[in-house]
Structure 1
Amino acid sequence: MTQTRAPRADAVRNRKKILAAARAQITERGPDAGMDEIAAAAGVAVGTLYRHFPTKTDLVAAVIAEFMDQVAADAEAARDRVTAGAPALDEINAFLGRVIEASATNHAVKAAAHALGADTGAGADQRRAEAALATLIHQAQADGDVHPDVTVDDIYLLFNTAPTDQPQATRTRWLTLTLPGLTTSARTTDG
């Protein structure tokens, strides 16, 4: 029976530094950010970068997967606050704002992932986020605050149409204009 050793502390630190540097370099330079530049920005040798991520596609996929894990954790934390008594509509609004802002920061990384054909393997994290969002939506509907026909797919539609390539003030304005479409007070059942 073979036991798997936990990664060394320096390997974990290096991986985190590489992911942060990759996110920053790709955000600044797009998919053309070089592995050498990413390694330099992370303060690691190029060989260390390639040990963790054999290709740029692997690196970009890891950055996106990390982002999806953070989104899922955020959705679960919002769900837990609602379970503890926080208003579901407030949590939905705040969650949407946080994800849109984070998506704006990661806009170039997502474009690079698409350009490189990276498989993010984010299925499990996406399912976690969807389950937490479903709970938030159902509670807000039970509270009478969110229209009965709103679904998790509608939330993803909002994410996909958000102006993440625009300035922060524009994103905030877009969210202010869009959110009322989810609520019962903003539209009739005719929709």
Structure 2
Amino acid sequence: MQERRERLISAAYSLYADLGFPDTTIEKLCAVARISNRAFYECFTGREELMQVVYNRCVRDNLAVVSKAVEQAPNTLLGRIEAGVAAYIQFVTEEPRRARILHLEVRRAGDCLTSSRQAAVAGFTQIIETNLIEAPDTDGADPHLLVLGMIGALQELLIEWVLADDPPSVDQVVKTAVHIYRRSLGN
């Protein structure tokens, strides 16, 4: 059962990114995974649950990479910002399917992934609030809301990278995101 489940996760990772969540049917998933529809339902309740598993795995791996990068960064605010932002963007963009799942298909999947998206944002918010907030001069803005805004800005930069006919370079996305974070945190 575990082996079939992993084949389905692998198939979903490719199909959700290549065809998009709305156009990926259970039949297509089963054909790529080389299992029957009945076997699919022994592993997952539906393609939404499968998308949730794929998304959560990508988020878990990304959180680990970002946490490690921030921990190993120079012990300055700018050093931690640069390390965390670069690690996030490089992890997401080194595999374009991952970028598409994390920043586009999760939205196309709709309400079934709302709680997973909120948990992911909470995880990244905690990293930022724990490691990057050093009594910023926010002109009265709520620091937590500021962090949420910075996360949203980064998500939009990556959506642009995924969808643009002529996407910006990864280096340019990193530089832009670092600039946003630096300015938002008063550095």
Runs of 4+ aligned structure 1 residues displaced above 6 Å come to: none
Does residue 26 of structure 2 align to residue 35 of structure 1?
A: yes
- Greater CA radius of gyration, 1 or 2? 1
How many residue pairs were aligned?
A: 168
- For 2:126, which of 131, 150, 160 is the aligned residue? 131
Q: Which amino acid aligns with 2:83?
A: E
Structure 2 matches for 1:10-49, cutoff 5 A?
11-30=1-20, 31-49=22-40
Q: CA RMSD in A?
A: 3.3
Q: CA deviation at 1:124?
A: 4.5
Name the % identity. Answer: 14
- For 2:106, which of 104, 110, 117 is the aligned residue? 110
Q: CA deviation digits over 1:118-157, x for unaligned, max 9?
A: 135425454333222222313xx48xxxx64474223312
Tell me the SS of whatever aligns to 1:119. helix
Q: CA deviation at 1:171?
A: 5.0
Tell me the SS of whatever aligns to 2:30. helix
Q: Distance in 1 between matches of 2:58 and 2:166?
A: 19
Q: Normalization by structure 2: what TM-score?
A: 0.70
Q: CA deviation at 1:98?
A: 2.8
Q: CA deviation digits over 1:75-123, x for unaligned, max 9?
A: 32233324x8583133123134235526533145324312xx3135425
Q: CA deviation at 1:73?
A: 2.1
Q: Normalization by structure 1: what TM-score?
A: 0.68
Which residue does the alignment assign to 2:80? 88
5+ residue gaps, structure 1:
1-10
Task: Say whether the 8 Å CA contact 1:23–1:109 is kept in structure 2.
Answer: no
